[in-house]
Chains A and B, each alone.
Chain A
């Protein structure tokens, strides 16, 4: 029974991600269309590729070097088997369950229990743990955490979030360009267009201003779906929802937070390092931890 449940959860979360990514595409198209209406063809054909290009270079550079970049940003130290044989044993167990290659392993010296995974593909994957998580978690709990991180690797979440970040970035740059141009008397094409439909002009203005916000919301929603998907995939690896559930309970009970609260890397940790109360639910990168625990608990009761 449990099989059906985590498989159903996996495909539902995948479906939602595709829908959200498609929405991103529609949003980009909408912004381009709004620019076209407002500024005319000349300006738009010049600006849209430029914005997409800037976003692509920025994000894909960090995607390609994600393993190295994140190591520098979080201060993680790559370790070898001799440094933590038990941790390596556990990771090897999960690689056998998932059929993934062995990732690089790193430790972040930090008093908050947390973990993350990165890397552009399974062959260049890196999973990192804070020193604290290794102290507070038992074997089963740690196995659940490792399975969650390896799920991000298996589901290629670095790629998914890179795509999301690129479109969100392109939209932000585009809208920024265009709103600036409006103040500085851009859109000379418009005059030749005989003014155009005033309603369409106002609408496109609204789209241009609201688009970056919508893109941010979509990006956060994608991140939350990927977290839920990783929980379901983790159970498909270990067939032990209780381990991950107890791990999340340990994380929920712990009030310490990873030292560096940089927004840029918040989404990669298993538990969001940003204070849940100051960030509204719509913008948060993770589903509420209580919700994740409840989902896993439901899987447990199906299994036994």
Chain B
């Protein structure tokens, strides 16, 4: 009888520890995933001056586009909360698209080796940013589910873990949904 009680208590303790650790682990994974987004955003920010200089060499009269990219980049480097980082990230993406659209008009630029290698770097970095985002959001989803569902929800307070924000990019293209007229 004594052993049964001891075994039961041990099982309960193991259960609590497992739930607590699961929550803490999920929370750390979300932190790491967010750090990874920032690493990739930083990589992209580092590419921008080089890209702007390269395009400037061929297209001197597009000052407006350059200014937009530089301004968006400056705003992005000062953002800190998830929502701010996401908003700034969206702005940089839009500005970069504008810059690449400008480049389309200059065949010499498009053919230059420097631009081609920058373009490869930029497209892989864009992909990395979006995969890092997706990985972060997947992990936030698991964390938020754990925080809100039984039994892990009982331990969220003790583990000081709470639901986190999704990384949502304000996409200009998504907002301007074309008007359908009948």
Contacts and interface: CB of A to CB of B under 8 A. Distances in A.
Say whether chain A's binding surface is mostly helix, strand, loop, or mixed: helix
A139 B123 CA distance: 11
Interface residues of A, number: 15
Interface stretch (A34-42, A90-98, A196-204, A295-303): A90-98
A94 B120 contact: no
B120 A92 contact: no
A96 B36 contact: yes
Contacts of A45: none
B33 interface: yes
A90 B124 contact: yes
Interface of B: 29, 33, 36, 40, 120-121, 123-124, 127-128, 131-132, 134-135, 139
A190 interface: no
Interface string A60-99: 0000000000000000000000000110011011101111
24 contacts: A85-B120, A89-B120, A89-B121, A89-B124, A90-B124, A92-B124, A92-B128, A93-B127, A93-B128, A93-B131, A94-B131, A96-B40, A96-B128, A96-B132, A96-B135, A97-B131, A97-B134, A97-B135, A99-B29, A99-B135, A99-B139, A139-B123, A237-B131, A239-B134
Nearest to B33: A99
Nearest to A88: B124
A96 B124 contact: no
A85 B33 CA distance: 24
Interface in A235-273: 237-239
Contacts of B124: 86, 89-90, 92-93
Q: Which 8 A-B pairs have the closest CB atoms?
A: A97-B131, A89-B124, A96-B131, A93-B127, A96-B132, A96-B128, A93-B128, A99-B135
